[in-house]
Every structure is written in C-alpha cells, then in structure tokens.
Amino acid sequence: MSLGKEVKVLLRKELLTEWRQRYAINGMLLYVVSSVFVAFLSFHVVNPSSWNALFWIIMLFTSVSAVAKSFIGESKGRMLYYYTIASPQGVMLAKMIYNTLLMLALSILCLSVYCMLIGNLVTNIWAFALAAALGSMGMAGCFTMVSAIASKANNSHVLMPILSFPVILPLLLVTIRVSKKAIDGLDFSTFMMDFMVIFFINFIITALAYILFPFIWKD
C-alpha cells in the first residue's frame, strides 16, 4: 500500500474510533471550556499581555492532555497490530494529521469561549487566527512525537509534560510574540519573520518525528 493511501486509511480509523468513543473528545471539549471558565472566574481585569499569556497557557495544557493520549492511551495489542499491517511513517503521519485537526478544533473552541467570557482584545483577528493555527499545528506535531517517546517509559503521564514543555517552548515563545503583535493590531509585514520561524520550527519537528519514529515504535 502506498504511504498516502495508508495514511488515509489510518486517519479514517482514528476519526472513527474517536467518534465511537465520544467520551474522549467530549472530555477534551469540556476541559477547554472549564479551564477558560476557571480563568474567567479568577481574573477580573485583564490587560492585553496577560490576556495573551493566559490564552496560550490554557492552549498549552489543553494540547498536552489532548495529544498525550495518542500513544500513551494505545493498548499494547493494538500497537502490535499496527506493526503487522502498517509502516511506522504511516502511523506517525496519520496520528499527526489527526492531532492537528483535533488541535485546530480545540483552538477554535478555546478562542471563541475565551473571547465570549473574558472579552476580545484582538485587533488583527486574521493574524491572530493564523498564529493560533500554526501554533496548534506545531504543538500537535511535537506532542505526538513526545507522547510516542513517553509511552515507552514507566510513569509516562508524569514524563509527558517534563519532556514536552522544554521542547515546545521555542515555538510557544515565538507564537506568543506573534499573537501579541496581532492583539496590538500591527501590520502583517511586521511579523513575517516570526511566521517564518514558526514554520521553520514546525518543519524541523515534523521532519525529525518522521525520521525518528521508526526507531521508537518497535518493542
């Protein structure tokens, strides 16, 4: 089977299993809404900087818990089954694409609930949306890979944040800076460089995950 077709089949399977056991996705949606609500209750007056930081912290924790389950939750038997029928690259790409879709959906939800409760401070909404989309994609890719690494160790739920936070920080810092510029309503031309950096980091992470995953998944 060609890689493209394999990824398509595996992606379909991911979406199907998610649809069949809706508690996982519903749990994630509730997680986002309740963390935004906690933030809303604990902050009363928010200036643009804290608005931005708070949004990204919620996104960070949401994505860690949403993406962590991609490998950590998989049973041993199912991994063994993949091993016999699919290529590692196919499995990795399918999981990454699936997690990217999941993260995009979660970020849209998070942003709308956040704007509704705490208020919308963003001036350049398209730039902010683009930053949020690129940031979510990067987080999805990075956390998918780290979740594959952590799933092989004992106590993987503790390892997941330890391993992933330092790795995601460069991306997160640039994303936070871009979104701050978008909040302040700066022109697109001022953050082209930052978008390039985000793109570059995303590319490195995805490429490394693609190359390194075959070494992780065998047991």
Partner 1 sequence: MQKHWWKLVGVVALYYTIFRGFTGEIPQLPILEESIRNLYFHVPMWFGMLLLLLASTVYSIKYLGKNNPEHDIIASELAYTGIFFGILGICTGMIWAKNTWGTWWTNDPKLNSAAIGMLMYFAYAILRDAIDDSEKKARISAVYNIFAFPVFVVLIFVLPRLTASLHPGNGGNPGFNQYDLDNNMRLIFYPAVMGWTILGIWIANLRIRIKKVEKIINEN
Give, in order, the Cα–Cα distances in Å from 88 to each of 32, 63, 85. 31, 23, 10
Q: Are 107 and 78 in contact (CB under 8 A)?
A: no
Please select the residue that binds partner 1; options are 46, 167, 184, 195, rule is CB under 8 A: 167
Q: Length of the chain in residues, anyone?
A: 219
Name the residue nearer to partner 1 (CB basis): 130 or 198.
198
Query: Considering only residues 176-195, where is the footprint of partner 1 by CB under 8 A?
Result: 177, 193-194
Return the range that interacts with partner 1 (CB under 8 A); candidates 1-9, 80-88, 90-98, 150-158: 150-158
User: Binding to partner 1 by residue 2, rule CB under 8 A?
Assistant: no
By CB under 8 A, which span of 65-73, 89-97, 128-136, 156-164 interacts with partner 1? 156-164
Residue 22 interacts with partner 1 (CB under 8 A): yes or no: no
What are the φ and ψ backbone dihedral angles of 163, each rounded to 5 degrees?
Answer: -75, -35
Which of 67, 140, 197, 198 is close enough to bind partner 1 by CB under 8 A? 197
Torsion sign across C-alpha atoms 53, 134, 180, 204 = positive
Q: How many CB atoms lie within 10 A of CB 101?
A: 17
Q: Name the strand (E) or helix (H) holding 10.
A: helix 3-20
Q: List residues near partner 1 by CB under 8 A.
A: 145-146, 149-150, 152-155, 159, 162-163, 165-167, 169-170, 173-174, 177, 193-194, 197, 201, 204-205, 208-209, 212, 215-216, 219
